[in-house]
Structure 1
């Protein structure tokens, strides 16, 4: 299982939002590149970068920061937020991004996801399913769809998607532990590899996710507040491989 630290970008800064609420923002660093360097030094093998402005507005206003990160990173980057079409996804991969994550587009324009898979291959494309009470949310979690999580997973799998990143919005940045029940349900109902985000607060949480068979765990609040030491988390999970 990959231990994947997150860098959430808002206005060019590294921030965290409480349960996706843009009015409840904490700025953790004004230099996302410095944060990336720290994660690399701690032994992370991949970093999840979210353009929060792009996710909400569909305009990738942090594109310059993302490009700088992709140009200098020594580990693979997974990028999400504002990726609404296959053309944007392909451009990011060309710039050095390892994986692109479709969220809103997977609900509103699934043909773009299918096109991206056809052009880039299934290993480059992730679908992010952000859910509140079992219903998929879109546009930076500001809008609710009428799509249930498992229905979405099955549809994406039928299109050739091989990796799903699931975020429980109600737990995001709460340190209230991940939604283990949802993770188990996803693993029981699809052959897609599953990444889990939201609520992870301890190395014990990571070990439990690994035991379930999760492919990757995305860490945010816990590492920024010091509840989890990233280097220790990486080494512990590696030791249990």
Structure 2
């Protein structure tokens, strides 16, 4: 199970929000590229970068993403605010190893097929963010009528190489998570699933390691010190 530290960017800074809500910043660090490098130096094999400003349609942070790509040598997967084919192509050409499509893929699944065909499916991931059992879009501000398992099957058919499943109900709360929604998604698809939301203890990682999840994104717990990366990385070796 791959451990992926989160580097979330808003207004040019590295932040951690509660349930993705603007104004709930609990962590604000000035230099996201330095933060990313620190996670790499501590042993991270993949970095999970999200442009929160882009996701919330407040304006992007692409120059910050460029700085991160120049600074680190490990693969970077990146999402947030990818609203068009041009946005996606720009990031892939820039050197992002894998883009994470959310709203764009859900509202127009054909984009997954086109981008997978052009750049390779291994570079295309789809984010399915679930709140009250329904997938939400546009920075978690709008609900759809579909569940993660329903959309997961569609994205797999369109050529996505993996799914990022975020349980918004637990995101940023450091209170653990319910494993059942993840298990339902894993049952529905054959492609790798990366989990995010509420992971805050080694016990949480122990539970996840038994599910078959390919990886886990950890944000607030690393920044607040309830988990340290070195301990978490032990689950990569099991």
Q: Distance in 2 between matches of 1:47 and 1:102?
A: 16
Other-structure match for 1:141: 140
Provide, for residues 2-45 of structure 1, a one-character-per-residue CA deviation record: whole Å limited to 9, x for no partner: 10000111101111111111121223311101111110111000
Q: Contact 1:51–1:60 (CA<8 Å) still a contact in 2?
A: no
User: Cα gap change, 1:60/1:45 in structure 2, threshold over 3 Å: closer, same or farther?
Assistant: farther
Unaligned 5+ runs, structure 2: none
1:90 Cα deviation from its structure 2 partner = 2.4
Of 209-218 and 139-148, the range deviating more from structure 2: 139-148
Unaligned 5+ runs, structure 1: none
Q: How many residues align?
A: 238
Alignment of 1:106-185 (within 5 A): 106-185=105-184
Please give the root-mean-square deviation of Cα atoms over the aligned residues, in Å: 1.3
Other-structure match for 1:223: 222
| TM-score under structure 2 length normalisation | 0.96
Provide, for residues 73-97 of structure 1, a one-character-per-residue CA deviation record: whole Å limited to 9, x for no partner: 1111011011123332222122111
1:119 Cα deviation from its structure 2 partner = 0.8
1:49 Cα deviation from its structure 2 partner = 0.5
Alignment of 1:1-241 (within 5 A): 1-57=1-57, 61-234=60-233, 236-240=234-238
Q: Contact 1:13–1:27 (CA<8 Å) still a contact in 2?
A: no
Classify the secondary structure of the residue corresponding to 1:78. strand
